Structure 1
Amino acid sequence: MLYVTHLLSPLLMLVLPLFLGFLLHRRLKVGWSLFGVGALTFIGSQLLHIPFNAGLTALLANKVVPAPPGDWTLWVNAAVLGLSAGLFEEVARYLVYRFGTNSARTWRGGLMFGAGHGGVEAMIVGALAGLAAMSMIALRARGASAAPLPPELSAQLTAYWSHPWYYPLLGSLERVFVLCFHLSGAVLVLQVFTRRSLLWLGAAILWHAVFDAVALYTLATVGLYWTEAVIGVGALLSVGMVFALKPARVEVVAQRR
């Protein structure tokens, strides 16, 4: 059964974002192009976000930037990583709203935009998880007939196959929760234009920073199961934000700010 769930979880990560896009397309009558715009926005943000985090890590390793005190290391790391994710991803959303397509500037369009943003992240994670699963299956299939594996790789293989059958499905469940978060992020940034206040961009960055930082801190302190529960609460709050910010009337495209 563990073989099945190790392969099923990546498949769900690939399919669920497309299913969400299909629902939005059918129910809200919004075009698929915004899903692609959201996907490209995420990829573009990571072209800057990943080098930034790598550079910051190098500065800490070389003691160019002072490291936080020992008791504060985990808190500071979680806060910095959460804030960097919020800055790069939410500012990227803002720039697309500001200089990109006007069709994203409605509640419905923002949802499809957010689905593409979070969806491509889920699909990338799913593809990597699928490759890892196939690699681990191949290594396990080698059996005793092949040369012994290096100790570190052997330990990883043992750990990978020691979990209960449902454990791999937590990854796909987490992607559902994160998709909900990205819908809220897209709708929050949209308020910059519908309500004409940059404070909403700050709110989106802060919400992103808190969501990621709490997840990172929880994972490091109480483990994966509690982390998924915490992310699940964040997903419920995200869905609440999405519907709280739903306009009462038929939407028109917001004016450029």
Structure 2
Amino acid sequence: MFSGLDVRLIASFVAAITFDILMPVVVVLWVRRRFGVAWRVIGIGALAFALSQLFTRVPAIQVIQYLLMDELKASAVLMNVWIAVLSLTAGLFEETARLIAFKYPLKDQRTWRNAIGFGAGHGGLESAVLIGGLAIIGLINVVVLSRMDVSTLPLAPEQLEQVRAAKAQISAIRWWEPLLGAYERVGAMLLHIAMTVLVLQRFLRNQRRWYWLAVGTHALMNGAAVVAMKAGGPFAAEGVVTLFALFSLWLILRLRPAHAQPVTP
């Protein structure tokens, strides 16, 4: 059954997928119990991610990237510009969604506790649906391509070359790499919560700079992780994510009001 497959890689993918899906569930339930956040707030946080990413930015990026595929491969300068655009739009789209949420549907629920719940819902949907979904597709590709005999495929030469290149990419994946993606979800969840708390300050302190600080921090984290990946590999990228996760945790606690006590079970 597993002929031609690295069982350790399969197990790693399964563990990562399980974590991607279950981790946000545990976080949301903990936030609900600890701070008494309403399901409505968590749901609006998840909806904000869907509207700002799944239904808008992500499809648009896929189309544009496909149209510019040859140009991006041929120009390092254009690729760097594209990375900057991706990083900046991630911050703009998601932080604007948080801003709109607290300006309209959550205008009467502008509290630190609700920012925690909103961020958990926002980051939770990203982890369970987007990242978990991509990991499932990755696992399917590993299984299918690893067992595929290219010599038996009735394809044109250029198509066969594409399949061979895909098989080579699969073979280059080290068995533990999917686990790094699962580890990254912890930092991403903290970032989403911290950015929600930052955007909330725009209303609590009536200062626009807090929104722009959130946009900049989000964009900087994305860009720095990509640059670290290109320069030093996956561990360097996860090091950047870890630093931003610790910074996010500090922000969450630093901006917590004195009266925001946990709800007694």
Closer, same or farther: CA 108–79 of 1 in aligned 2, 3 Å: same
Q: How do 1:1-257 residues align onto structure 2 when only pairs under 5 Å count? A: 1-46=8-53, 47-50=55-58, 53=61, 73=78, 75-102=80-107, 104-123=109-128, 124-142=130-148, 147=153, 150-250=160-260
CA positional deviation for 1:131? 2.5
Secondary structure at the counterpart of residue 83 of structure 1: helix
In structure 2, do the counterparts of structure 1 residues 141 and 48 end up closer, same or farther at CA, with 3 Å as the change threshold? closer
Native 8 Å contact 1:104 1:113 kept in 2: no
Q: 2:256 aligns to what SS in structure 1? A: coil
Percent of aligned positions that are identical: 32
Q: Partners of 2:177 and 2:69 in 1: how far apart?
A: 34
Cα distance in 1 between the residues matched to 2:68 and 2:92: 20
Q: Judge conservation of contact 1:118–1:182 (CA < 8 Å) in 2.
A: yes
Gaps of 5+ in 1: 252-257
Instruction: Give the conservation status (yes or no) of the 8 Å contact 2:150–2:164.
Output: no
- Tell me, yes or no, if the aligned pair for 1:14 and 1:127 is still in contact at 8 Å: no
The residue type paired with residue 27 of structure 1 is R
Deviation of residue 188 (structure 1)? Answer: 0.2
Shift of 1:195: 1.3
Q: Which deviates more, 149-158 or 104-113?
A: 149-158
Shift of the 231–62 alpha-carbon distance from structure 1 to 2, 3 Å rule, reads closer
- Structure 1 residues 75-84 or 227-236, which shifts more? 75-84
1:4 & 1:54 partners in 2: Cα distance? 29
| Secondary structure of 1:229 counterpart | helix
Amino acid at match of 2:95: E
Q: What is the distance in 1 between the residues matched to 2:64 and 2:149? A: 42
Q: State how far apart, in whole Å, the 2-side matches of 1:56 and 1:152 are.
A: 21
CA RMSD of aligned residues (A): 3.0
Deviations 1:166-191 (A, max 9, x none): 22101111111111110110000011
Per the alignment, do residues 137 and 103 of structure 1 end up closer, same or farther by CA in structure 2, a change over 3 Å counting? farther
Q: What is the rounded CA distance, in whole Å, between the counterparts of 1:59 and 1:162 in structure 2?
A: 27
Cα pair 2:199 2:214 within 8 Å, conserved? yes
2:13/2:178 contact within 8 Å kept: yes
Aligned residues of 1:24 and 1:30 also touching (Cα < 8 A): yes
Aligned-pair distance for 1:13?
0.6
What amino acid sits opposite 1:110 in the alignment? A
Q: TM-score, normalised by structure 2?
A: 0.81
* C-alpha spacing 1:82/1:145, structure 2 compared with 1 (3 Å): closer
Judge conservation of contact 2:41–2:117 (CA < 8 Å) in 1. Answer: yes
TM-score, length-scaled by structure 1: 0.83
Q: CA deviation at 1:216?
A: 1.8
Measure the CA separation in 2 of the matches of 1:221 and 1:183. Answer: 28
- Partner Cα distance (2:66, 2:112) in 1: 40
Residue type matched to 1:132 in 2? G
Aligned residues between the structures: 246
